[in-house]
Structure 1
Amino acid sequence: MAKINGNEVRPGFVIQHQDRLWVAVKVDHVKPGKGGAYAQVELKAILGGTKLNERFRSAETLEQVELEFRDFTFLYEQGDALVFMDQESYEQIELARDFVGDRAAFLQDGMKVTVEMHEETPLGIRLPSNVILEVLEADPAVKGQTAANSFKPAKLANGLKVMVPQFVNTGERIVVDTTEVTYLRRAD
């Protein structure tokens, strides 16, 4: 951990404060007419997601935490646990399905993900920005609705539903954005 002054906090910094890890979401540097300058910081707890607004003066010392980003491979699902293997040590870890959240639907066998770690404790997970999925169900194209902005619902192999252009049919493979859960393009 590195020591920083209270006025050196920037958005994205992870700090140890009140015996918890927080990420700085928003930082406003304030220089009042009277008194010393300070940083008004909006913090979000890494575990739990609670928010906190704090005022840090330049004389205060904070502990900036460096997270370790490690590459893992998704192996399989076991009940409510998702099993991943460290690509360097080949050790396996189990993460609760709730830890990954709704994005767990995008996990595929052998998918490479990045896990944010602090002292061997997983804090977050990053999936690839997009994945290729097969369309299981899509309504046939409606004649006359071939305009570029005309979309229809489609059910994907992972159970999610997205809106796709009229020309996409059942059985095709498409590229889906994992953050926005939206259709990007047909897969090659």
Structure 2
Amino acid sequence: MKVQVNSIRAGNVIEYNGKLWVASKVQHISPGKGGAFVAIEAKALREGNKLQERFRSGETIERVHIDERECTYLFKDENGFTFMDKETFEQLVVGADVLDEDQSRWLQDGMEVTVSLYEGTPVGAELPKTVVLAVTEADAVVKGQTASSSYKPAIVEGGIRVMVPPHIGVGTRLVINTEEGTYMERAKD
């Protein structure tokens, strides 16, 4: 179906130059001089090569219909990441080429994930916008840093490095934004 290029989001499958592409990064850019445009980074569905393209705002592009299934993450093995369809209880294996390292590092056992399928083949997965993880390592608070809004590095479950406010210590549960990998707030639990 033809849609305005402004409505394309990361994870959407588009048809461009006779190939199917999964949009991985979409930026809406409004320069001070000239017309606004949308920059799209995408990965070819079948071949895996990458595309960086700019479209003028208001242009139309073909968005391909894909099936989305609510799934639960089970485990990772040499074949990829295994999910269970919540309706049919069928297991779906999503390859490491589909779920990149930026996304896969946030996966937790039992996590609810939306898996996108095109003609029965997994082409993408949409993780929750946030995850709650506990801090496993954090630098000690340095006195005198409270006046400025400085952040310090901390390691959360899974070995992921996140910049956090100085008052955060080991064991603190944090809400982390999975798209940007940034600290949002302390978990309220």
Q: Does the pair score TM above 0.5?
A: yes
How far apart are the structure 2 equivalents of 1:140 and 1:74?
A: 35
Counterpart in 2 of 1:185?
A: 185
What are the residue-to-residue correspondences of 1:105-124 with 2, within 5 Å?
105-124=105-124
Compute the displacement of 1:42 (Å): 7.1
How far apart are the structure 2 equivalents of 1:167 and 1:64?
A: 46
Residue 175 of structure 1 contacts residue 185 of structure 1 at CA under 8 Å; is this kept in 2?
yes
Compute the displacement of 1:130 (Å): 0.6
TM-score (norm 2): 0.73
The CA RMSD measured in Å over matched residues stands at 2.9
Counterpart in 2 of 1:10?
A: 4
Per-residue deviation, residues 65-121 of structure 1 (Å, max 9, x unmatched):
211111111011223521100111110011223321122111011101111111111
What are the residue-to-residue correspondences of 1:39-188 with 2, within 5 Å?
44-47=42-45, 48-51=48-51, 65-79=64-78, 81-102=80-101, 103-147=103-147, 149-188=149-188
How far apart are the structure 1 equivalents of 2:165 and 2:54?
A: 47
Q: Stretches of 4+ moved more than 4 A in 1?
A: 23-26, 52-55
How far apart are the structure 2 equivalents of 1:144 and 1:90?
A: 55
Q: If you compute each CA radius of gyration, which structure gives the higher value, 1 or 2?
A: 1
Which sections of structure 2, spanning at least 5 residues, go unmatched? 28-38, 56-60
How far apart are the structure 2 equivalents of 1:160 and 1:73?
A: 22
- Kindly tell me: are residues 154 and 96 of structure 1, through their superposed partners in 2, closer, same or farther at Cα, counting changes over 3 Å? same
- Kindly tell me: are residues 138 and 54 of structure 1, through their superposed partners in 2, closer, same or farther at Cα, counting changes over 3 Å? closer
How far apart are the structure 2 equivalents of 1:156 and 1:186?
A: 13
3-state DSSP class of the match of 1:133?
A: strand
Q: For structure 1, which segment, 65-74 or 124-133, has the greater mean C-alpha deviation from structure 2 after superposition?
A: 65-74
How far apart are the structure 2 equivalents of 1:67 and 1:17?
A: 19
